[in-house]
Amino acid sequence: LSGNPVLPPFDRVVVQGFRPARPAARRFDLWSMLPKHNRREDQTGDLWRFIACLQEVTDLLLAEVDRFPEVFDIERAPEAFVDLILADLGNPFPFDLDELGKRRLASVLVEMYRQKGTARGIINAVRFFLGVEIQAVTAYAGEALVLGES
């Protein structure tokens, strides 16, 4: 303020900040988590003000954690998160899908990996992407060769 001191009663300001919604049953009050002797020794209120700053950040983090079910649920997640879920699952398919196709793929991709290389996996993958029923024919349908006997 370059030499212009702000004198009482104008040296304080009240600011309304954002406070995220929280579940009614949640009790995550950092001040009450402190030991009683620390709270009693706070004669100036500095500790209370510092903890209030930390409480604000903690409330914001808890609000983000509360949103996790919306983000990680394939049916409710925003499309950008569905793309991230597919990337996290290691989506091996390079072609573009619409939003519904991405959600369907994310829900069955793990099972596709489990069936990879099997006749059942090929049938299910073709059914998923093309909507066509096929019959997988294996090149070798005979008995397995036994080492040392065949």
Give the pLDDT confidence of 61-99 residue by residue, as tens digits: 999 999 888 888 888 898 889 999 999 988 888 888 899
Q: How far is CA 45 from CA 16, 39, 52, 78, in A?
A: 20, 9, 10, 43
Domains of the chain, residue spans: 30-66, 70-130
Confidence (pLDDT) at 93? 84
Question: Is 102 in contact with 79 (CB distance < 8 Å)?
Answer: yes
Q: What is the pTM of this model?
A: 0.54
Q: How far is CA 9 from CA 1, 6, 78, in A?
A: 17, 9, 49
Is pLDDT larger for residue 130 or for residue 149? 130
pLDDT tens per residue across span 3-37 = 777 778 877 877 777 788 888 898 999 999 999 99
What angle separates helix 99-114 from helix 79-88, to the nearest 10 degrees? 20
* Helix and strand element counts for the chain (H, E): 7, 0
